[in-house]
Amino acid sequence: MKVYLLNSGSLVIDRSNVLWNIDPGIPVRFPVYSILIDHPDGLFLFDTGYDYEHVQRVLPFEEPIQQSNETIPEQLKLCGYTPEDIPVLVNSHLHFDHVGGNRFFTKGKTVLHRKELEQGRNPEPFERYGYSDKQWDHADANFETIEGDLEIAKGLHLYETPGHTIGHYSLLVQFENRQPILFSFDAAYTHENLEKEIQSSFHIDPVAGVRSIRRVKQLAQEHNAEIFVSHEMEAFQTYKKAPDCYEG
């Protein structure tokens, strides 16, 4: 099995958005990435980054930086694939920085939590920026909704980690010959969120969000997994990026 991290570029938010109610007034640039898994059962893609045009139009204050080779089609090309080669796209949740390339996937199915699909189509007013990019809901999207924890293929475990959004999933990847990796997605933007047990300011249910941070830590301990956080520049700089990969 091979696990590729696909770089989508970076954005800026305030530190008090990364760590709710901590240190307002400090801008933080953070990475956005997706995950391609070459599994014995086929190719699985988790999330699709952000769409540069969308962020420039709707959230220009997040100062998007995305090189021309940091789109999903270009990142897949680095690994030797095109969007048509991907039969299964999974969305951890439907925030704009995780669905920006969904529109390229017109052949396969898109797997996500039932509640996330409902919420993405009808978000609360305070969630409007998070769910501002609706391009995932295109005519050729073939949604398969799921609920509860689920092993979608051998060694690929989705765990419900709600709070940041109502139907948020984290992903545990178990290899044959390598330490497992637990992708928290936005249950923890950074290691500091894990250590302090403070979630990002963007959330629908802060109590559930804290429980999900604890769940991520518990799962990592139980499976002796390394946690990969979603939006920390220091951590991301240490991760292997496509076309390099984690293999085992």
Catalytic residue positions? Answer: 97
Q: Does residue 99 interact with ligand 5PN by CB under 6 A?
A: no
Pair type for strands 109-113 and 181-185 = unpaired
Q: Between the CA of residue 25 and those of 22, 62, 164, 197, 212, what are the distances in Å?
A: 10, 14, 22, 21, 27
Binding-site member from 44, 94, 95, 116 for Zn ion (CB under 5 A) = 95
Bridge partners of 169, per DSSP, are 160
Residue among 201, 237, 50 at smallest CA distance from 193: 201
Least distance between ligand 5PN and beta carbon 20 (Å): 12
Least distance between Zn ion and beta carbon 204 (Å): 10
Least distance between ligand 5PN and beta carbon 173 (Å): 22
SS3 99: helix
Pick out residues in 164-223 that bind ligand 5PN (CB under 6 A).
202
Question: Encoding tokens for residue 16?
Answer: 């008090």
Pick out residues in 168-227 that bind Zn ion (CB under 5 A).
186
* Binding footprint of ligand 5PN, residue count (CB under 6 A): 8
Binding-site member from 47, 97, 133, 160 for Zn ion (CB under 5 A) = 97
Binding partner of 129, given Zn ion, ligand 5PN, none, CB within 5-8 angstroms per partner class: ligand 5PN
Give Cβ neighbours of residue 215 (< 8 Å, ≥ 6 apart).
Answer: 159, 161, 170, 187
Neighbours of 134 (CB within 10 A): 14
CA 34 – CA 220 distance, rounded (Å): 20
Least distance between ligand 5PN and beta carbon 196 (Å): 19
Residue closer to ligand 5PN (CB basis): 58 or 78:
58
Cβ contact 172:226 at 8 Å:
no
Q: Does residue 232 interact with Zn ion by CB under 5 A?
A: no
Q: Does residue 129 interact with ligand 5PN by CB under 6 A?
A: yes
Helix or strand run (H / E) with residue 226: strand 226-229
Kindly list the residues in this chain that would bind ligand 5PN in the complex (CB under 6 A).
11, 13, 62, 95, 97, 129-130, 202
Kindly list the residues in this chain that would bind Zn ion in the complex (CB under 5 A).
95, 97, 186
